[in-house]
Chains A and B, each alone.
Chain A
Amino acid sequence: MSYHASPFQVSFPPSPPFWVGSVRHWLAGGARLLVVLLAFAGGRAPSLEANDDAPAVEGRIGISRVSSDRKYELGTARLRAAPYIDRKYTLRKLPERLVDARMVRTSMDDDYVTTDDHLRLELPETTEVIVAVDAHGERLADWLKPWSLCEETLAVDNIDYRLYRRIVPPGIVTLGGNDRRMTGARSNYFVLLLPAQEIPETPALPFPVEQFQQQVWPLLQRRCHGCHGADLQEGGLRLDVRSRALQGGDTAVAIAPGSNTDSELLVRLTTGNSAKRMPLGEEPLSEAEIGLLQSWVEGGAPWPDSLAGREVPSTHWAFQPIGSPAVPEVRGAEWVRTPIDVFVLSRLEKAGLTPSEEADRSTLIRRLSLDLRGIPPTPEELRAFVADSSPEAWSQLVERFLAGPQFGERWARHWLDLARFAESDGYENDNPRPYAWHYRDWVISAINADLPFNRFTVAQLAGDLLEGAGSAERLATGLHRNTLQNSAGGADAEEFRTRAVKDRTAVTATIWLGLTWQCAECHTHKYDPIAQREYYQLYAFFNNADHAQEGEAATLRESERVTRVHRRGNFLEPGAEVRPGVPAFLPELTPRGTRADRLDLARWLVSNEQPLTPRVAVNAIWQHLFGVGLVPTADNFGVRGEPPSHPELLDWLALRFARGRVQPGPDSSPGVPELFLEPWSRKSLIRLIVNSSVYRQSSHSPAVPMAEDPDNRLLWRQNRLRLEAEAIRDVALAASGLLVTQVGGPSIQPVLPRGLGEASDLKSERFQETGGNPYRRGLYVHTQRTFPYPFFATFDGADGNSCLVQRDRSTTPLQALALLNDPAMEECARRLGTRLQAATLDESARLGLAFELCLSRQPEMEERVILQDLLESLRGASGSDDALWQGVARTLLNLEQTITRE
């Protein structure tokens, strides 16, 4: 602390010692003003002037700091004295014992000070400090809360003031601001000072333990356990279990036996801040109830063993170990091709439903081709399959599609949605990331090579930490380089770094654990058993990893950073330190060294004991083959998510996905063929599912089961699904013969609809045709975060801003306009028309080819009639042969069925 030169310093030593001796004479009045102000940090002299009316300076009490530039002076309290320097209000009521007390007169206009260090008084001896506060104030400044409220009051003009007192030893006492900013006091406080005896030592009486049972426990039950009990632990605080109550919440100690002021429980019961006062949003506790809790805490907070309680582990299904359910008995065994069918049929039989018939062969090959490759079958593939009635035809088709390079492209796109893959930074500047496609290509090749999911996981989360990590492993870590990055001028680097770390934490939790982790960022999770502390334990794994891009090479460096809880999620409010760790409701993580790192986390995620990863991964694959997962809320396996429709099937699949098929055994029902499953093999799992009878059902919706189970939760049919944005484009490109099948490499920037300049601002030029073949698959279209490719945005494409577990399948008029008129679609229609026209076929056969190219089937009679009508109308309208076949092409590319996987 330094004292600034001021006119008053003459009478005040530059380095004043603390005063000694009697202070009676200054308390008796007649002392002259002594004000020394601390200049504020800006270095400017305070604009204080000497007050001529001030009492003489004499004596040994001083105002050593006022944090604003308002005047504060010493005066004497008596009736009709003015407590404010800038108002004429006077004291109208004053308790007898306060007459002639010293008074710190303040400035009423100094009324929105929020600092905790506003006014410092230097006191020569033990003093009773009394702060007079306008009784109309709706909230009390935080610093005043622990002070004792006096029974006596005073009045200024006709306004009552409450008095808060505290006895303080000689030295400096620091008072905060009045905190009027929101709904605090109506006017500034002022201060009265009285000499005091030594602080009385009043040892707290021990609290009788039986009174806890009779009074305290019922009170806690009635007023606290609703939010701080077994079901809900707001703020991480649990008050129905002794050990947890004494441990405290996320940010403070709730109960400090023997000390009311250190017990957040009591502070929060008595605070004047309604946003903090407990019980939140309810009637406050009565004075008697608060008094009871005060004497309980002061008396050592006894809590008998009989009511100590204990924490019951979560019973939520998803957090339990994966079971090994037996394959159930069913009646309709002839329908069964795989164990999957047995589980599904068993549920259907219980509900009195029967499965749908098998889809026709052209529907089947189009479905499988779109699901496994994202493109329709060629007419040759179609005709060959429709003609092949051998029992092996289907499984051979499955093998061919699984082995083709388009399989990796199709399934990489699903993964890239989760990985919030994009090729620009996002936020304001949204700079391009010219090397991001290397990660995309790594995903494609890993999936094509069927890299086991456990290794696929470890490579992406901690490839850099593996022994002998090479360039492939470093590419894999691109997963978490996909975060948004703000390079705008005013961005606070630390804020956006912590935001990126939070993003990595949340994305990891969503992809592998199926949990909405971000809820626990600001407070303990409302529904799932994730404490805020545990959120930051997971955060800590990613807090030390710094991603960078140097030319083509991506680098990941470890740095030393201490992780602390961010109170209320705000990085500017660090709380307790935490170490990397996993939540208590899941199996333990055993680190390799003393401190767990990302590699430990990645291996834990795919360890045998951890039940969520296999369930979540199996569900994601199921979702892509049926449109909806066995757990419909694929992004939420927590308490608020929906339970699985077929829990035994999910566990049966999850166990085999994670461990592989150990041996043929009790799984097999009579007539169920053995299907060998490689551990963590994506292709094996897909092979198993698409070979099932469940997958091969028709997607039509007859009336009866629709009434019983309209959402098809029981899987009495397949689902009809509108294709994803990329697949719609790829179907059109394939039908028109334009599709280029080159795998991997830099992204392409297709032609935009006319007139996008204003919306796209300066970024639009990145979407011009700048080389690269425009006819490559949708997967390769450049993803600019703030300017998604309009055609994809119209069809619910992923924008790369957040982890996307389920895409929407909306139906909008803009989609109609895009399919009818977008330049890319226009070109496809034109080229398809030319292709039809060029085919040396008669008109009827051309129509058949058109249907095969767009819908993978021949038209039915009724449809031929409509097409003949169309040809007739078009001939009437223009007559040109080009226009004729381009019209047919445009019509077929706009059919609902063309953009639907049936």
Chain B
Amino acid sequence: MKYVPAPVGGGPTDILQTRRNFLTASAGGGVAGLAALAGLLERDGLLARESAPASPLAPRPPHSFGRAKNCILIFLAGGTSHLELFDPKPRLVELDGQPIPESFLKGVRFSFVKPGQSVLMGSRHGFRKYGECGLELSELLPHIGACADEIGLVRSLHHGAFDHAPGELEMLTGRDQPGRPSLGAWLTYGLGSESQNLPGFVALINQRGPVARAMAWGAGYLPSVHQGVLLRGEGEPILNLATPGGISVEQHRAQLDAVRRLNQVNVGRSRDPEIETRMAAYELAFRMQSAAPELIDLASETGETRELYGVDRAGQPGMFARNCLLARRLVERGVRMVTLFQRTWDHHKNLDGDLQSQCREVDQPIGGLLRDLKRRGLLESTLVIWGTEFGRTAITENARPGNEAGRDHHPHCFSLWLAGGGVRGGTVVGASDELGWHPASDPVHTHDFHATVLHLLGLDHTRLTYRHRGLEQRLTDVAGRVVEPLLG
């Protein structure tokens, strides 16, 4: 195979050149299948990093020292009930069946319930103290509870978006309307990606995805290179990853070589640096074609690890567990942000039964993920978040307290937790009032939550800005303060 030297020399181009010689040589070996080539390329990682200084996804130093390098956001969409899972309310149990005092209804809107016809409902599920810290969590979450000493729990989160799409957007993009970048896009914008063979921001879906769909992992007004890549848990993990049928590896490689060489000719002619960016994108695409199938091949995991997550349990749990395991494999490979979605938590009715089965599905995999990260020494550098768009009302929907009853959407006060990545374990921040209705102390707004997540990853939320529409835009708009007690 002939190699046509490029007429442009100097600077990064020369390094690229070296790299291309290497690529060409590997492919020219004739026997080099994609997987073998990928292995060589992985070893080549350091060179790749140096060779693409202009790449928008090149790793960038944080603003300050943050212990978290990566983030796994487990977004359980629909609205997980803080009253059943995270925030015990004995007074609410006492008041079960009573109408709600009028003072609670002022300024509060509902999606479905008619407050005059609804009554207070206490949790049917008990709470237990977990860990050395004695964190009170639902008895439905024993595996997560076993990691209580790693968890920082917020019981006073609040915002104003009371429907699913606006609520998801509020939690994921900081504003309840379309058009903003999602958290993961901000992270790769701020920190780049450590992975040369995989995208920096990956989204995974189990069963139903978020209502906001692509906006939930979108780049908003940031350059689209920062949008999350939707990875599927089975089959083709990335859209258009497989070379069309009938094109052999050799043909594919020959075509990519020709594309590269023809592009290189044009670099010399028009001297537009964008051409080299495009060439680098083709190389990453090619590496992804090899790296992504290896990523989702869970056969290399031990039986013990699979059991830890519950991967092989019969029925639904297996799939969620698989995604949790995949999330670990992704951050292990340097992916900056993994968002895992499951939209099965909108319990307007039959709260008791549905919550039990949902918890059974996610508790062991999430607990397994935390423990697996911990024992591999990854938890310190990986921030794990239980996310949702809102909590649920203290009053019933559809029925009087009983097996059929559910709860409506409640964004005015709800809970979520963070673990690892520099979070102070075994802490509780904020408290709700005795009905879990409003924050009673240390309220944490969405902007505060986002400021804290960015801080944990070493980013100052006031300095992570992008100019759009003539304004320096931020994830936290013009607000947000870091929730200090959550920091370890």
Contact = CB atoms under 8 A, between A and B. Distances in A.
Count chain B CB atoms within 10 A of each CB in A486, A720, A814, A876 and give the residue with the most: A814
A827 to B, nearest CB: 9
B241 A817 contact: yes
B469 A802 contact: no
Interface in B212-268: 212-215, 223-225, 229-230, 232, 235-236, 238-244, 246-248, 250-251, 254-255, 257-259, 261-263, 265-266
Contact of B232 (A635, A703, A755): A755
Given A44-B99, A68-B103, A813-B199, A699 B254 contact: no
B385 interface: no
Interface in A373-424: none
Interface residues of B, number: 87
Given A866-B258, A887-B255, A40 B101 contact: yes
A428 interface: yes
A516 B262 contact: no
Contact of A758 (B98, B209, B259): B209
B109 interface: yes
Interface string B151-183: 000000000001111000000000000110000
B103 A67 contact: yes
Contact of B225 (A572, A753, A786, A812): A812
A522 B173 CA distance: 19
Contact of B246 (A760, A788, A870, A883): A883
B211 interface: yes
Count chain A CB atoms within 10 A of each CB in B102, B111, B257, B262 and give the residue with the most: B262
Given A42-B102, A759-B213, A812 B269 contact: no
A774 to B, nearest CB: 17
Contacts of A69: 101
Interface in B179-216: 179, 199, 205, 207-209, 211-215
Interface stretch (A6-14, A473-481, A488-496): A488-496
B223 A810 contact: yes
A489 B397 CA distance: 14
A869 B101 CA distance: 81
Contacts of B241: 817, 821
A874 B257 CA distance: 12
A202 to B, nearest CB: 37
A181 interface: yes
B266 A817 contact: no
B1 interface: yes
A118 B436 CA distance: 21
B112 interface: yes
A896 B275 CA distance: 6
Interface string B268-293: 01111011011101101110110000
Contact of B211 (A113, A428, A703): A428
A488 B164 contact: yes
A860 B265 contact: yes
Nearest to A641: B470
Interface stretch (B40-48, B140-148, B416-424, B437-445): B437-445
Contacts of A794: 224
Nearest to A632: B470
A489 B109 contact: no
Contacts of B261: 866, 869
A50 interface: no
B470 A869 contact: no
Count chain A CB atoms within 10 A of each CB in B109, B116, B240 and give the residue with the most: B240
B193 to A, nearest CB: 11
Interface in A452-488: 484, 486, 488
B110 interface: yes
Count chain A CB atoms within 10 A of each CB in B112, B199, B471 and give the residue with the most: B471
A890 B272 CA distance: 23
A753 B239 contact: yes
Interface string A811-823: 1111111101111
Contacts of A761: 208-209, 213
B164 A810 contact: no
Interface in A315-360: none
A810 B101 CA distance: 54
Interface in A816-875: 816-818, 820-823, 826, 860, 862-863, 865-867, 869-870, 873-874
Contacts of A863: 262, 265
B239 A869 contact: no
A811 B225 contact: yes
Contacts of A491: 111, 163
B314 interface: no
A553 B84 CA distance: 50
B281 A867 contact: no
A814 B271 contact: no
B214 A786 contact: yes
Interface string A786-801: 1110100110100101
A427 interface: yes
A114 interface: yes
A662 interface: no
B179 A814 contact: no
A490 B111 contact: yes
Given A801-B178, A867-B258, A112 B433 contact: yes
Contacts of B263: 895-897
Interface residues on A, range: 35 or more
A821 B165 CA distance: 32
Contacts of B102: 40-42, 67
Contact of B223 (A793, A808, A815): A808
A490 B112 CA distance: 6
Count chain B CB atoms within 10 A of each CB in A635, A810, A900 and give the residue with the most: A810
B209 A759 contact: yes
Interface string A603-629: 000000000000000000000000000
A40 B98 CA distance: 13
Contact of A490 (B106, B179, B409): B409
A1 interface: no
A759 B228 CA distance: 13
A424 to B, nearest CB: 12
B2 interface: yes
Interface in B455-485: 469-471
B255 A758 contact: no
A679 to B, nearest CB: 30
B255 A890 contact: yes
Contacts of B277: 811
A490 B163 contact: yes
A177 interface: yes
B103 A817 contact: no
A883 B251 contact: yes
A866 B262 contact: yes
Nearest to B115: A42
Count chain B CB atoms within 10 A of each CB in A701, A760, A823, A896 and give the residue with the most: A896
Contacts of B111: 489-491
B116 A891 contact: no
B214 A68 contact: no
B4 interface: yes
A271 interface: no
A894 B259 contact: yes
Given A641-B470, A787-B213, A817 B285 contact: yes
Interface of A: 40-42, 44, 67-69, 112-115, 118, 177, 181-182, 426-428, 484, 486, 488-492, 516, 572, 633, 635-636, 638, 640-642, 699-703, 706, 720, 722, 753-756, 758-761, 786-788, 790, 793-794, 796, 799, 801-802, 808, 810-818, 820-823, 826, 860, 862-863, 865-867, 869-870, 873-874, 876-878, 883, 887, 890-891, 894-897, 900, 902
The 4 nearest A-B residue pairs measured at CB? A490-B111, A636-B470, A816-B285, A873-B254
23 contacts: A41-B102, A42-B100, A177-B103, A181-B433, A428-B165, A490-B112, A491-B163, A720-B270, A720-B272, A755-B239, A758-B205, A759-B213, A812-B225, A812-B281, A814-B229, A816-B282, A823-B244, A860-B265, A866-B261, A866-B265, A878-B250, A895-B259, A896-B263
